[in-house]
Each structure stands twice: as C-alpha cells, then as structure tokens.
Structure 1
Amino acid sequence: MAQTTVVTAARPGWVEDGQWDEFQLFVHLSVGAGDRVWKNQPLFDLETVKVRFEVPSPVEGKVLGVYVDDGARVGPNAPIMKIAF
C-alpha cells in the first residue's frame, strides 16, 4: 500500500516562530491533481505582501488531491495538497 503525505503552507526557515501567525499567504499552484512530481520539484509558491517563495515536494510521487484553488488565501500551516509515494 502506498504511503501519503500532506504538504502544508510550512514556515520557511527565515521566518521566526512568533511572526509566522501574522502572515497573509496566497497560493500559486505549479502542479495539479494527478500530476507526477519529483523530490524537490516546486509544487506551489506562497506569496506574502513582501516576498514570494517556492515550496518543493518532500517526496517523489503522484498528487492525489489539491485542497485549495490557485490564488487562494490560506493561513500558516494550512493543508495544500496530498501526495502518494
């Protein structure tokens, strides 16, 4: 049976813990449900009022589902997509 992982709007290393809850994030999808992805391939960008950064795939696998629409506003640590590996 395949394992799965949920990729979230995770805090990048340059953001301090206390600041993360203040961010307003917008998601820009690079892949969709059914797409095959490789480890470290960009899955989506998160955009704040000051910066936009890529979130890479933690695993090689297949995108089972996407929980948000492109351009959606999400909160910190919101689930974005599920990948089977």
Structure 2
Amino acid sequence: MSDYLVEDIVKCDECGSRNLTRDETRGEVVCDDCGLVLEDKVIDQGAEWRVFSPEQGDQRARTGAPMTVMLHDKGLSTDIDWQNKDY
C-alpha cells in the first residue's frame, strides 16, 4: 500500500507526462500518454449513501446509530420482532 496520497502524484514515472487520469470505477491512476498505471486499488473517499426514493433524498445515513459505551450492549443489539424476523 502506498504511503502517499493519489493527489501527490504529479507526473508519470515512465515518461514524465503530467497528463494523468484517475479512473474511479477501476480505482487506478493512469498516464494518458504512455498508459502506465501509476496507482491501483485507490479507495474512493466519497459518500457511500444511496437513495431509492424521493423521500430518502435528504437522508444521508447509510447505517444505524453509532456505537456508544452508555448502553449495556454498546448499541450493537439486534431487534427481532414477535414473528422471529429481523426488521
């Protein structure tokens, strides 16, 4: 794993070009001139939420409540309804 940020890559190690493209879908930084892959397995640091309906548009949460030491189970319990199904 690299110890530098992708934004720190300013030129190609092979040809010296500064024409670099970050491919978000493949997680790579590629030189546009020679095709060298300068970095791979780049992690997307952007938001992870998805919206499935218009009502969810303003809700940016993708998980439940945070862990807390104030609760006996640290807030990590699972609730099962009377029909024995998760909800």
Greater RCO, 1 or 2 (C-alpha within 8 Å, sep 6+): 1
Higher strand share: 1
Greater radius of gyration (CA): 2
TM-score for both structures, normalised by structure 1: 0.28
